[in-house]
Chain A
Amino acid sequence: GDSVTQMEGPVTLSEEAFLTINCTYTATGYPSLFWYVQYPGEGLQLLLKATKADDKGSNKGFEATYRKETTSFHLEKGSVQVSDSAVYFCALSNTGGFKTIFGAGTRLFVKA
């Protein structure tokens, strides 16, 4: 079945450091890919999405490119802030269905 694998955390970075959180997926067909973010004490929010191969999703300085050849959707940010501290979930949704499959989540701590 469909699945999402993302790097284990926690990831601890200093402010202004470069962030990469790896995500790979297994799916039939052509899924849509998402990154969700969960700030402390809150529900999940959609951070960015990509719906087809080579699409780049971006939001709030975060980017991820849908790589079909490597079945990957790595999250990157050039300069993290303390306010980016949260748990990040990679997810996929296959076309024709409303189910979303989530990765295990990666907790990010950013130190001032």
Chain B
Amino acid sequence: SAVISQKPSRDICQRGTSLTIQCQVDSQVTMMFWYRQQPGQSLTLIATANQGSEATYESGFVIDKFPISRPNLTFSTLTVSNMSPEDSSIYLCSFAISGGSYNEQFFGPGTRLTVL
């Protein structure tokens, strides 16, 4: 199965700055996703990253705060803009593969972000 990696693995940032997280898959995939996992919480889908078009955002998430790029079928970036301490979370990218009757997601190792 494909391997998925993220950079950076962790970062500590100052309030008001921005951080761009990179996600790389070692084979071409159609659907990529970005999730947020706040401390002790479950995963919340931020957006679906579509190659060649704008990302599709979930309720409560906006492009100005979380701009996403998807320049090709193996790569995506998520930027966390104008950060505040409430943005401290693990950010995970994933891709989905259809197995016919089901869709399975594969996750990157995550980026642990701390905002001071």
Contacts and interface: CB of A to CB of B under 8 A. Distances in A.
Interface of A: 32, 34, 36, 42-46, 49, 51-52, 89, 93, 95, 97-100, 102-105
The majority secondary structure among interface residues of chain B is strand
Given A98-B31, A104-B41, A105-B42, A45 B103 contact: no
Given A43-B107, A43-B110, A44-B107, A93 B42 contact: no
Interface of B: 31, 33, 41-43, 45, 48, 92, 94, 96, 98-99, 101-110
A44 B92 contact: yes
Contacts of B101: 32, 51-52, 95
B108 to A, nearest CB: 5
Contacts of B48: 98-99
A51 B102 contact: yes
Contacts of A95: 101-103
A102 B103 contact: no
Nearest to A42: B109
Given A43-B92, A43-B110, A44-B92, A100 B105 contact: yes
